[in-house]
Amino acid sequence: MKRFLALVLALLCLALCFAGCTAAKDDKANDESTEATEAEGEGSKPKPVLKMATNAYFQPYEFYKDGKIVGIDAEIAAAIAEYLGYELVIEDMEFDTIITAVKAGSVDFGMAGMTITEDRLLEVDFSNSYATGVQSVIVKADSAITKVDDLFADGATYKAGVQQGTTGDIYATGDLGESRVTPYNNANNAVLALIGGDVDCVIIDNEPAKALVAANSGLKILDTSYADEDYAICIKKGNTELLGKINEAIVALTKDGTIDAIVAKYIPAN
Ligand code: GLN
């Protein structure tokens, strides 16, 4: 009987202990959910702001839709900001003031279909490249210019319109000379000059060129391209912390397919 009682007591102890343990576990679970709730509470605090500079007349990378800046760069930047726990704020400015703003620290980074070049690398740092670009030439559908080389032929006097401060501007000025190149403050104005007959062609990145040709009748893009380039995000020299974080985000968002999906959304495969 004693043995029986001892067994019952032992079982009772075990049962109590088990209940206790379970309760302790439940408490822990409760603690964790409280922590989670607290963490969520923290999450609702405003996130730190990450300020991006762009020039929002560069479809499909950045352009206005219903009063909002959208496009490949805007969406990739938003994904990077979300990955890093920041709130993205986009500031629209002239393309050739972006690097100045980044250097001055009035914005955290510049993202504008911006090509990595040796000269720019002297002024700012660049992230890993997230996309490639091609410089193309837009002409009127009935233009005498049929290939890029026509622009450089001996005795040729064709004039090119470009966006001020872009690689199209830099390369064209180098190849054609300043007198044959007119810089405009954005792509739309360069195309209006082509339509109006002030210039004979517009040298600009291929995807914006396609959008401009689609939006304006009587224009075409030459089959041959002018230059191949890599786009990247520019950051103030020495801000290695932000550069590291942005590169980490680009690697992760490339790996999980986010960047490809954003590009495919705006540039559907032919
Ligand atoms: N890719 C070109 C450059 O970096 C043009 C960029 C742009 O006009 N937004 O100069």
Q: What is the mean pLDDT of each run of 10 residues along the chain (270 residues)?
A: 41 39 37 39 78 96 97 98 98 96 98 97 98 96 96 95 96 96 94 98 96 96 92 98 98 97 89
Long-range residue pairs from 240-245, CB within 8 A, at least 24 positions apart, any chain: 242/108, 242/109, 243/125, 243/127, 245/84
- Nearest ligand 1 atom to the CA of 61 is 9
* Residue whose CB lies within 8 A of the most ligand 1 atoms, among 57, 136, 166, for a mutation test: 166
**Residue 207 CA, ligand 1 centroid: distance in Å:** 11
Tell me whether residue 74 is exposed, middle or buried, using C-beta atoms within 10 angstroms of its C-beta: 0 to 12, 13 to 18, 19 or more. Answer: buried
Report pLDDT for 267: 93
**Residue 112 CA, ligand 1 centroid: distance in Å:** 7
| Helices marked H in 51-177 | 72-84, 98-104, 118-121, 148-152, 167-176
Residue-wise DSSP of 207-238: HHHHHHHHHSTTEEE-SS-SEEEEE--EEETT
**Residue 167 CA, ligand 1 centroid: distance in Å:** 6
* CA pair distance 250, 261, nearest whole angstrom: 13
Tokens matching residue 20: 């206790």
- Nearest ligand 1 atom to the CA of 170 is 10
**Residue 218 CA, ligand 1 centroid: distance in Å:** 24
**pTM score above 0.95:** no
Report pLDDT for 43: 53
Residues in the ligand 1 pocket, defined by CB under 6 Å: 55, 58, 95, 112-115, 133, 163, 166-167, 205, 229
**Residue 191 CA, ligand 1 centroid: distance in Å:** 15
| Pairing assessment for the beta strands 201-205 and 68-70 based on DSSP bridges | unpaired
**Residue 113 CA, ligand 1 centroid: distance in Å:** 5
Report pLDDT for 270: 57
Report pLDDT for 196: 98
* Residue whose CB lies within 8 A of the most ligand 1 atoms, among 62, 63, 72, 95, for a mutation test: 95
Residue 133: CB partners within 8 Å, gap ≥ 6? 113, 115, 205, 206, 207, 228, 229, 230, 231
- Nearest ligand 1 atom to the CA of 187 is 8
